[in-house]
Amino acid sequence: MSAGDVLAILRGAVVTVTLSLTGILIGLPIGLGLAVLRWADVPVVARIVAVYVSILRATPLVTLLLLLFFALPNIGIAIGPISAAILALVMNTAAFNCEVWRASLMNFPKDQYEAAQSVGMSAPLRFRRIVLPQIARTSLPGLVNEMSLLIKVTPVLAVVGVVDITRAAVRIGAETYDPLPPFLVAVALYAPIVFALVSLQRWIERRQIMAEAAA
Amino acid sequence: MIHDFGIVWSERDLLLTGLGNTTILSVLSAAAALLIGFVLTPALMSKQRWLAGGVRGFVDGMRCVPFLLFAYIVYYGLPSLGIRLDNWTSGLLALTIYNAAYMAEILRGAWTAQPREPIEAGVAFGFSNIALFRRIVLPPLLLAAGPVIGNQIIQIIKDSAFLTIIALPELTHAASSIQSRHYVPFAAFITAVFLYWGLCLVIEAGVSSIDRLAAARR
Amino acid sequence: MAEAGRVLDVAGVSKRFGALEVLTDISFQVEKGETVCVLGPSGSGKSTLLRCINWLERPDAGQIYLNGSQIGVNGAGLVMSDRELSRIRTRIGMVFQHFALWPHLTVLQNLMEAPVQVQKRPKAEVRDEALALLAKVGLSDKRDSFPAKLSGGQKQRVGIARALAMRPDLLLFDEPTSALDPELVGEVLVVMRELAHEGMTMVVVTHEMGFARDAATRILFLDRGRVVETAMPERFFSSPETERARQFIQRYAGHAANGGR
């Protein structure tokens, strides 16, 4: 493996990180939106969201990605590999995030909400200033966990030709007939990122436990 | 569109074979992963530092590596070391080893949450070794860990789809094959999605029954 | 060492946890039908002593004999295998502070589990006996309930019935009422008093002075790992010999022990 090969894998890492971040940043608010729709029990929509989440959580990402990449052009929507990749990641992570947000919403102490109502806060204000800050805190470990899971499924993007860490490694392995070294480099790139996120999650959880104990 | 689904229907044998392979793959590796997990968990909690450290390294390592990459390594990488496996063996091996790490962690968590006294009572009443494990330790452990193990099985089913990249004839591979030959991508993959959904609903139903048993005893 | 009627013989038992010596040179005997109450301040080693008797804790020194057979060390002088230990343990019943009922089994199944699985007794016979024991402790109607649905007092009565189902030669009680709400203590003590009255050989670690005074045939007073005093309850409570015992009784019984201060 030459230095140029390592560079190619590093370039793939940029793609991995960029697409992951995009997926995470878009997926977070959408997940929140879905959770609120279910929590507020908006008629019809809440049921649709429930079914959507159930299906998305059961669908392998690779199947979803292939579906989007091949089926959308078929019905007239032109989509390239990167867009299909982002769309698949967002649809997937939004569904999982929805469940994390929803758990926080369901565990939100009702009396705080009623206190806000009784001082005349409007619904959007109630949500923005009372509910959101607190569910953001309780959802944090679950959301960070979901982020680490998202990074671990990004190799699937290689299947539609996106040159991320995995595809770069596979390509080099095919060219040099020596697949193991580039794979190990790939592992060496993924592992620290995932490990950092997992450690972050554990740190957040520890801090929250301590904060609760002190309260 | 109806026409497309008609084509998928005509290829239902392939799809059902794919579904069958996904199911077999998932069930076998889940069972094997759980069994290996039962061996790893005591090692994880062992007082021998080298043993606990080694297993901890394995478990944390598997949780930091993407499964697809791991599958690639097992199928394409091992031949460099002289180990050549076919795609079925690689797939099964990769799924099993990868998820054994997760099962070990799940079982460890469930074990530490178990109260000690009933097990001690088992010892005091003369239970030892296998009987103690089978009749006193295991049932409450499985009742407690049921939902989490169920989730992991769903994860295994989804991970199995990645094995399409090593040409394993599981469900996603079958759907891909149908779409590439007949150009019916939506119908083929949506059908696959619903079949995966169905599998997961079966697992979730199983988890609900275990949870009902657990709830009666809580 | 096998004296007729002597159920338990504890000789020179010591136990340390790390640097801490928890039991030092404990010796006492229990005859058949006796109810020995082990009293003492917290940290005196009472529970550890009890757990050494059935080798849940392994003594560092000393010997323990049940009906003449040594516990923990076999005929060849080697430490007993789990199998050999298991056989001896089936003859010693134990009642735990936190009940330790098996949560996945119903009350009746809890009673039947060890006699059937460990003692290999026929199921029908075990079942009849179990039902009789449940009636004895007043819980016949709870036989198909799961332990989680019972009150503390009910759980402990099941615990006692479960131990009795093994037809033990000796019953050990490890602070059986300490984890109970005060109003539930009585129902358990009633059962224990009846057992003592019926001639069950019992060793009871407890803080219940009333029970010790009424039901015990002998008091064993432990302090910091040693047997400080041993006497019949009447004499122990009215005129304790040692200062430590006196202080203990004062603190717990709330009245000055006469003949001493």
Residues C151-182 as b/e (b if ≥16 CB within 10 A, e otherwise) read ebbbbbbbbbbbbbbbebbbbbbbbbbeebee
Looking at residue C1, what is its pLDDT?
A: 45
> Is it the case that residue B27 has pLDDT exceeding 60?
yes
The answer to whether residue A60 neighbours chain B at the CB level (below 8 Å) is: yes
Nearby residues of B58 by Cβ (< 8 Å), 6 or more positions away: B40, B101
Query: Across the interface, do B135 and C117 touch by the CB < 8 Å criterion?
Result: yes
Residues C249 and C68 sit within 8 Å (Cβ to Cβ):
no
Domain membership flag for residue C243: no
Looking at residue C256, what is its pLDDT?
A: 37
Domain membership flag for residue C74: no
Domain membership flag for residue C118: yes
pLDDT digits (tens, 9 = 90+) for C138-151: 999 999 999 999 99
DSSP state of A179: -
Residues of chain A above pLDDT 90, percent: 49
Residues B26-46 as b/e (b if ≥16 CB within 10 A, e otherwise) read beebbebbbebbbebbebbbe
Structural domain including C111 reads 100-168
pLDDT digits (tens, 9 = 90+) for A52-67: 999 999 999 999 999 9
Report the relative pairing of strands C226-231 and C61-66 from DSSP bridges: unpaired
pLDDT digits (tens, 9 = 90+) for C7-51: 999 999 999 999 999 999 999 999 999 999 999 998 889 999 999
Looking at residue C257, what is its pLDDT?
A: 39
Residue corresponding to tokens 């299947």? A159
pLDDT digits (tens, 9 = 90+) for B77-136: 888 888 888 889 999 999 999 999 999 999 998 998 899 999 999 999 999 889 999 999
> Is it the case that residue B15 has pLDDT exceeding 90?
yes
The answer to whether residue C83 neighbours chain B at the CB level (below 8 Å) is: yes
Residues B159 and B93 sit within 8 Å (Cβ to Cβ):
no
Question: Could you say which of B64, B154, B194 has the minimum Cβ distance to residue A191?
Answer: B64
Report the relative pairing of strands C226-231 and C218-223 from DSSP bridges: antiparallel
List, in order of start, the domains of chain B with CATH numbers.
2-216 (1.10.3720.10)
> Is it the case that residue B76 has pLDDT exceeding 60?
yes
Beta-ladder partners of C92: C170
Q: At what angle do helices A180-214 and A132-153 cross, to 10 degrees?
A: 160
Query: Across the interface, do B136 and C102 touch by the CB < 8 Å criterion?
Result: yes
Counting one residue from chain A and one from chain B, the pairs whose CB atoms sit within 8 A come to 124
- Note the ipTM here: 0.90
Mean pLDDT, residues C188-196 taken together: 96
For chain A, domain boundaries: 3-214
Residues of chain B above pLDDT 70, percent: 100
When the pLDDT of each residue in chain A is averaged and rounded to a whole number, the result is 89
Question: Could you say which of A55, A61, A191 has the minimum Cβ distance to residue B197?
Answer: A55
The CATH architecture assigned to A3-214 reads Orthogonal Bundle (1.10)
For chain B, list residues whose CB is within 8 angstroms of any CB belonging to chain C: 115, 117-118, 120-129, 131, 135-136, 139-140, 143, 216-218
Which residues of chain C lie closer than 8 angstroms to B135, CB-CB?
Answer: 113, 117
Distance of residue B114 Cα from the nearest chain C Cα, in angstroms: 11
Residues of chain A above pLDDT 70, percent: 100
Residue corresponding to tokens 């230990």? C85
Residues C58 and C72 sit within 8 Å (Cβ to Cβ):
yes
Residues of chain C above pLDDT 70, percent: 95
Total domains in chain C come to 1
pLDDT digits (tens, 9 = 90+) for C200-209: 999 999 999 9
Backbone phi, psi, residue C243, to 5°: -65, -40
